[in-house]
Homo-oligomer: A and B are copies of this chain.
Amino acid sequence: MSDQIDTRTAWLSPDLLASVRANVPLVYVDAIPVRVDESGRVTQVGLLLRVASDGSISRMLVSGRVLYGERVRDALIRHLEKDLGPLALPKVPTNPAPFTIAEYFPDPDISGFVDPRHHAVSLAYVVPVSGDCTPTQQALDLAWFTPAEAASAKIAADMTGGQDRLLRLGLAHVGELP
**Interface: A24 (CB within 8 A):** yes
| A interface list, Cβ under 8 A from B | 12, 16, 19-20, 22-27, 34, 36, 38-42, 65-74, 76-77, 91-101, 103, 105, 110-111, 119, 121, 123, 126, 128, 165, 168-169, 171-175, 177-178
**Which A-B residue pairs are the 8 nearest by beta carbons?**
A172-B172, A40-B92, A39-B73, A94-B174, A96-B175, A169-B172, A25-B27, A27-B121
Contact assessment for B172 and A68 in the assembled complex, using a CB-CB cutoff below 8 Å: no
Residue of B nearest to A40 (CB): B92
Q: In the complex, what residues of B have CB within 8 A of residue A66's CB?
A: 25, 121
Contact assessment for B119 and A71 in the assembled complex, using a CB-CB cutoff below 8 Å: no
A87 to chain B, nearest CB (A): 13
Contact assessment for A68 and B25 in the assembled complex, using a CB-CB cutoff below 8 Å: yes
